[in-house]
Structure 1
Amino acid sequence: MKKLILSLSILSCLAFSNEEPKVTTYSYGHNGMEYVARSKNGTVIISTFNSKMTIRQDIASKIYEMYLEHKLENNKKTTVFGTEADVTGKCIIRKKDNLTTVDFYYETVEWCTGVTEIYKKNI
C-alpha cells in the first residue's frame, strides 16, 4: 500500500511539473541606491532600477560581488543569480575620481517558482 501511494505521488508530481512556465509583465519597480561600499581605493555605489522589493538587496550584493570579480561590463546585458530569483538586466558603470557607480536596470526576473516577470515601461 505504501509503495502504491508513493508511486502515485511521484507520478502526479511528474505529470504536473511539465507545465509551461508562466510569463507576466510588470510596470512598477523600486529605484534607488541599494549598496554602498567603501575601501582604500574609493567608494562603489550600487543602484537598481525597476527592481522587485523582495529581492533588491540580495541582487545588489551579488552585483557588487560581480563588480569586485570584474565580471561586469559597461552597457552590456548581465544575468545575476540570486537566492530567490535570477535577474537579467543592463548594467551601466561610471567612474569619476574615487567614486564608482554601478546602475543595474532590471529587464527580466525569473523566480525559482517558475514564474517569469518582464519589465514593461508604461507609456
Structure 2
Amino acid sequence: MKKVFFSLLLMTSFAFSHEEPKTQTYNYGQSGMELVARSKKGTVIVSTYNSKMTIRKDIASKIYDLYLANKLETNKKITINGHEANVTGKCVIRKKKDLTAVDFYYETVDWNNGLKEVYKRV
C-alpha cells in the first residue's frame, strides 16, 4: 500500500511540474530616451517604448551593444537577453546626418521567474 501511494504521489508531482508559464498582459510601460552615446561618427540615441521600469536600462544597454556590432535591422523582431528577463520586440533605426535614433518597442517580456508579460495596447 505504501508503494502504491508513493508511486501515485511521484507521478502526480511529475505531471504538474511542467506547467506552462503564466501569461499576463499589460498596457502601461515607460517610454523615453534611455541612452545617448556620442562618438566621432555621430550621436546614437537609444529609446525604449512600453518598457518595464526595472529592466529598461539593462535592455537599452544591450540594444546599443547590438547596434555597435551591426546586428540590428530596422523593422525586424529581435529578442534581447537581459539579466532579469528576455525581451522580444521590434527595433526601428532612423538616421539623419550624424544622428541615429534606435527605437525599441517591447512586445513580450519573459521573466526569469517564469512569468510572461505581453504588451497590449488599450
Under a length normalisation based on structure 1, what TM-score does the superposition of the two structures give?
0.86
Aligned to 1:5: none
Cα distance in structure 2, aligned partners of 1:17 and 1:101: 44
Provide Cα deviations, 1:59-95, integer angstroms capped at 9, x if missing partner: 0000000000111001111111101000000100000
Cα distance in structure 1, aligned partners of 2:14 and 2:45: 45
Cα distance in structure 1, aligned partners of 2:28 and 2:63: 21
Partner amino acid for 2:35? Y
Superposed, which structure 2 residues align to 1:91-102 within 5 Å? 91-102=91-102
Aligned to 2:58: 58
Q: Per-residue deviation at 1:18?
A: 1.7
Cα distance in structure 2, aligned partners of 1:73 and 1:21: 29
Aligned to 1:79: 79
Aligned to 2:121: 121
3-state SS, counterpart of residue 59 of structure 1? helix
Aligned-residue CA RMSD (Å):
1.9
3-state SS, counterpart of residue 64 of structure 2? helix
Cα distance in structure 1, aligned partners of 2:114 and 2:41: 40
Cα distance in structure 2, aligned partners of 1:64 and 1:107: 18
3-state SS, counterpart of residue 61 of structure 1? helix
Cα distance in structure 1, aligned partners of 2:84 and 2:74: 25
Under a length normalisation based on structure 2, what TM-score does the superposition of the two structures give?
0.86
3-state SS, counterpart of residue 58 of structure 1? helix
Gaps of 5+ in 1: 1-12
Superposed, which structure 2 residues align to 1:17-96 within 5 Å? 17-96=17-96
Q: Per-residue deviation at 1:15?
A: 6.7
Q: Per-residue deviation at 1:16?
A: 5.9
Whose radius of gyration is greater, 1 or 2? Answer: 2
